[in-house]
Chain A
Amino acid sequence: MPRIPLGDWVNDAVDWLLDHVAWLFDFFKTVFLGAYDGISAVLQAPEPLLLAGIFAVIALWLRGTLAAVLAFLGFAFIDSMELWDDAMVTLSLVLVATIIALVISVPVGIWAARSSRVSAAVRPVLDFMQTLPAMIYLIPAILFFGTGAPAGIVATLIFALAPGVRMTELGIRQVDKELVEAAEAFGTTPRNTLLRVQLPLALPTVMAGVNQVIMLGLSMAAIAGMVGTGGLGGDVNEAIGQLNVGLGSEAGVAIVILAIYLDRMTGALGTQVSPLGRRAAARARAAQGLKIWSYRPRPAVAVVGVVVLALVAGGMGIFGPANDSTTAVASDGKNVGQGKKVTIGYIPWDEGVASTFLWKEILQERGFEVEAKQFDAGPLYTSLAQGSVDFQTDAWLPTTHEQYWKKYGDRLDDLGSWYGPTSLELSVPSYMKGIDSLEDLKGRAAEFGGKITGIESSAGEMALLKSKVLKEYGLDEEYEVVDSSTPAMLAELKRAYAKKEPVVVTLWSPHWAYNDYDLKKLKDPEGAWGEGDGVHTLSRKGFAEDNPEVGRWLKDFEMDEKQLTSLEAEINKAGKGQQQEAVRTWLKDNPGVVDELAPVEGGTTAAAETKRPLDVAWFPWEEDVAVTYLWKNVLEKKGYELNLKQMDVGPVYTGLSTGDLDLNFDAWLPYGQKSYWDKYKDDLHDLGSWYGPTSLDVAVPSYVKGVESFEDLKGKADVFDGRIVGIEPGTGQMDLLKNKVLPGYGLDGEYKVVDGSGPAMLAELKRAYARKEPVAVTLWSPHWAYSEYELTRLEDGKKLFGDSNRLHTVSSKDFPEQYPRLTRWIENFEMSEDELGTLENEIKDRGRGHEEQAVAAWLEDHPDVAERMTS
């Protein structure tokens, strides 16, 4: 049977999608996030009890007094459990997913109802979406949409779409054929037949579909807590992680209350909007007579009620935090230019465009009015000499622009080189193994078809290549330099690169091609290309005296190759006329550059760091709760903003590797999370360990006498039923236990490691402990189980679990560049066992939802810690 590599195809497809349609996903992400933020803002704004009142009035309108009272009590209960914010987050998520699901599913359902072919095509897709285990698309959703709400919405959407489509189709198909025929017999157009006959009659079924969409959405929203959507799903996830049955049931009950409310309301709404349902309800009411419990106001009354409550809520929202308007910090200190005019000239070369528009943006931010003018090299020097242009950033000196410098040099100021040395070179893609220098090209002409792809034959580089470089290495017989143009050379490179064909091109640095493709510059041991130029900034005479700050900034101006090529690539991607936007995008990805290049008083790099909120992911494990909230407290005092996202291990590593998350403080390395680390380490940065050593253990309750080490387990399999209770299969600890530790002690024949999960293991431990039954569990420290129960950590005399882990802080790859100060702080951070233990206890004592108070209290007892962390 041949292996059908479905998995590889999916991987390739995902890669391709990531490479080619990222814009589409970004678009969806923006739409989803926008909708989510909007609804979430509305739901989070009012006082909980007022909003509960609004929900109650809606219930009063749709179902009657009893429903209204119960709705109010239910929501008040959620508020009293301190789950209100989380419940509203979940509700927003479900509402957004539902709305989007309906926008998609109702038209698709109608289409499927009208065409059997469409129906046949749609059905397997729906089956696929509904039955594919959610985890399978939950993780890839992060790749496409990042962590947080959009990924959760997408997962919910995929899951909840099917019933919407199915029920719409069913509802329309169910409409009596004779009725449709009657409509047609009276000359109704197909469109009106749909709108006036089919849809109204299908409405009860369609509404049942809506109801299903919401219910499925809600159940999925809980699962989506694993990818950091937060809300009740996050609480459930956290509770499971800590085996906190109490919190778990609170969050669970809150979800149930939401579910029942949404179910009953959409059910009643179905009755209200469908003409048949309205009549049936009216008849039932007439038969029953007026009763207070089933009293329902007319829609107008209900709307007035909702509006009044909403106005009250809105009013309180306005008057409540009115004193909160200190956010608009006047940035006078940065307005250096005061509207002064500066003209920059540039030659349309990639590095010239990039540096010019970068300075244009920087100077505009500093209050200058900047004009960028494009010139040819000659006229640019002339204008500069005449003083009609203030400065230019693209002077290749001393070689390339030598003639201009000779001519105008005495009327210009050289503000120094900001990049260099530049170089001319031949380059090959890095997949060309064994070719690292010009010498290696010898004898391999056949591979390249004997061609070197050149640029314009008039360019100095081409002349140098043909007349000197090739001869120097004895390549002139073997290779032919193909005259072409810069764009053609780049196109050829792109084509060959995509097909992984051998190609050698004439290139120079800086060039964005080095950013977009993985290329090797061929070494030039003989120095045949000569010394490289530096890229200099030249100004008109006296510009630096007129503008001392700008002069200083330009003199200090420097860029490294990575910065420059990435900026060029960004500009190249954005296309002509969009340079300024591209620069802004680039600056967003490289925060702090403005302050670095154009420092002003008070506007240190730290200010730039604090501008962007940090996305910190945390696991619902005690040590991570402690350290994460500790950093949150400390950093917020320093002006940083932290978004905490509670997630599962896999999603955190994925999120960090895509740069979607910034930090995670709880990486068990080098063993515990080895599999994740190995997979993503190229895209991650290790900020060092802050706690350790930890240990991986197998533990038994201390009432099991005579078992203190792994050796003691031997021959006692019957005591433990031959089982060691494990955690999630595939974790580093489980792999070690199965493949190394048990065989190492000769226990692998006797004992079987039972795959399970952390919470399941803890539940099993709790159960056995309560009954004083013998049990052996896979555990690690620090872990609260050691303080909760009296356990014996089995001694690992042969050190087979390996050296112990330490707790590391792991960040996205770009983090150290973006947050140099924070990187320094985190790298220096350490906690002692006593500190971590007391902090965990403090948090545990205060209970869930009071982590911040606990940290604050703990910091008061440990006054030096905050100081130590930020020095």
Chain B
Amino acid sequence: MSSRLQAEHLFKVFGRRPDDAVEKLRRGCDREELRADGTTAAVIDASFTVEPGQIFVVMGLSGSGKSTLLRMLNGLLEPTAGHVRFDGQDLTELSDRELRQVRSKKISMVFQHFALFPHRSVLENAAYGLEVQGVPRAEREKRATEALELAGLAGWEKSWPDELSGGMQQRVGLARALATDADLLLMDESFSALDPLIRRDMQDQLIELQDKLKKTIVFITHDLNEAMRLGDQIAVMRDGRIVQTGSAEDILVRPANDYVASFTQDVDRSRVLTAASVMDTDVRGDEAGCGCPTATSGTPFGELCAISARVSHPVAVVDTVNGERRLVGVVPRQRLIGSLGDEQGDPAPCDSPRAGGEKVAARA
């Protein structure tokens, strides 16, 4: 149903003579050198592919170029170099008029501060994209009503944006984006302005909607937890460059460099890690021989801890493949505790083991 989105070597440079700057960047100049000339490189050589139906999260601190990158995907900003391919078209080759066509039919966008039109009612806001497409009033109101229902706003059609809470306003923004039936949804820090509880609700709702609708989504955020929660693929950006692309676990467990590692430092790993990512695959084969509880590859970290507390030996990870149970790895307790920390390594022996030390730990 959905189409694949590809970004190839995208550059965006603001300032004078951007093409020269791109050349310099390709030759290995860095951002600071360009800044001395008064040009700003916002995005440098960004490439990625988003498979249909995936949520692709771009994560980075403010100023890392993620919003600029997003705006190149629907042509709001013209890339200085590189190509964006979507649905068989190279968007960078299109005329303004064709680009507007694509934006009105195939790509929609959800904004950080909702960007609802204050002079239009909720229904008119949701129907805006359809109005631009020229859909007759009756039909666009029907489709907008459906979209509002999907976003959980049935019954609020006649209200005005300023009468709604932040979360509800963003639902209108979501409904406006969904109403056009666009395949590609660009979400620019869409939940960042919401308070934490509402944000969680919205994330759940997005996941739920995505299960139903299977859109291709590019989601921008500076919140790593949000990225981990939503992203099938995560790209981490720093200073205009994508420094790592991968799954949540890749980022967490195999950070590409210190920057990513320091980024992931504060993440609540217990929410992200599963048995598969912490287990030791070097197995003898008989660890599952006892009648103790076992885990599967997908068992979340928290549950794994609970199992580990109940058994006296490392927890066996057993997957069922083609109806046949197979041991894939074991999780020793040290490993479990170690993976919560930053550094991983083998336990070193203690110089002066204290008597009753375990008791002290238990009381604490």
Contacts and interface: CB of A to CB of B under 8 A. Distances in A.
9 contacts: A178-B111, A178-B112, A178-B115, A185-B76, A185-B103, A185-B107, A186-B109, A187-B102, A192-B132
A279 B117 CA distance: 13
A186 B117 contact: no
A455 to B, nearest CB: 63
B56 interface: no
Contacts of A188: 100, 104, 132
A182 B109 contact: yes
B109 A179 contact: no
B180 A186 contact: yes
Contact of A185 (B108, B112, B118): B108
Q: Which 7 A-B pairs have the closest CB atoms?
A: A187-B104, A182-B115, A275-B119, A187-B103, A187-B100, A185-B109, A178-B115
Contact of A189 (B76, B100, B186): B100
Contacts of B117: 179, 182, 197, 201
Interface in B128-144: 128-129, 132-133
B108 to A, nearest CB: 7
A184 B108 contact: no
Interface in B109-161: 109, 111-113, 115, 117-120, 128-129, 132-133, 160
B89 interface: no
A711 B176 CA distance: 93
Contacts of B100: 187-189
Given A185-B76, A187-B102, A178 B132 contact: no
Nearest to A279: B160
Nearest to A193: B132
B83 to A, nearest CB: 20
B170 interface: no
Given A187-B103, A187-B104, A188-B132, A182 B119 contact: no
> Contact size class for A?
10 to 19
Interface string A270-306: 0000111001000000000000000000000000000
Contacts of A184: 76, 103
Given A178-B113, A185-B76, A186-B180, A201 B119 contact: yes
A176 interface: yes
Contacts of A591: none
A186 B119 contact: no
A201 B111 CA distance: 19
Interface string B60-78: 0000000000000010100
A531 interface: no
Interface string B348-363: 0000000000000000
B113 A185 contact: no
B119 A200 contact: yes
B74 to A, nearest CB: 6
State the main secondary structure of chain B at its contact with A: mixed
Nearest to B160: A279
A187 B105 CA distance: 8
Contact of A182 (B111, B160, B180): B111
A773 interface: no
B101 interface: yes
A181 B118 CA distance: 14
Contacts of A274: 119
Given A186-B103, A186-B180, A187-B101, A181 B132 contact: no
A270 to B, nearest CB: 14
Interface of B: 74, 76, 99-105, 107-109, 111-113, 115, 117-120, 128-129, 132-133, 160, 176, 180, 186
Which has the most chain A C-beta neighbours within 10 Å: B109, B111, B119, B133?
B119
Contacts of B111: 178, 181-182
A185 B115 CA distance: 11
B170 to A, nearest CB: 13
B115 A179 contact: yes
Contacts of B108: 185-186
A188 B129 CA distance: 9
A822 to B, nearest CB: 64
Contacts of A176: 115
Nearest to A280: B162
A289 B115 CA distance: 32
B86 to A, nearest CB: 14
A202 to B, nearest CB: 11
A187 B76 CA distance: 10
Contacts of B104: 186-188
Interface string A178-221: 11011011111100100001001100000000000000000000
B5 to A, nearest CB: 16
Nearest to A275: B119
Nearest to A203: B119
A182 to B, nearest CB: 4
A178 B111 CA distance: 8
A280 to B, nearest CB: 10
B76 A181 contact: yes
B207 to A, nearest CB: 23
A189 B176 CA distance: 18
Contacts of B102: 187
A276 to B, nearest CB: 5
A301 to B, nearest CB: 25
Contacts of A192: 132
Contacts of B99: 187
Given A181-B115, A186-B128, A201-B118, 7 more contacts: A179-B117, A184-B76, A186-B129, A187-B99, A187-B101, A187-B129, A201-B117
A184 B75 CA distance: 10
A187 B109 contact: no
A83 B168 CA distance: 58
A340 to B, nearest CB: 69
Contact of B119 (A181, A187, A276): A276
Candidate in A181, A186, A200, A274 with the most chain B CB atoms within 10 angstroms? A186
A185 B180 CA distance: 12
B193 to A, nearest CB: 11
B77 to A, nearest CB: 10
Contacts of B186: 185
B68 to A, nearest CB: 13
A525 to B, nearest CB: 78
Nearest to B180: A186
Contacts of B120: 275
A820 to B, nearest CB: 69
A178 B169 CA distance: 15
A276 B160 CA distance: 10
A201 B119 CA distance: 7
A192 B100 CA distance: 12
Nearest to A176: B115
A275 B105 CA distance: 28
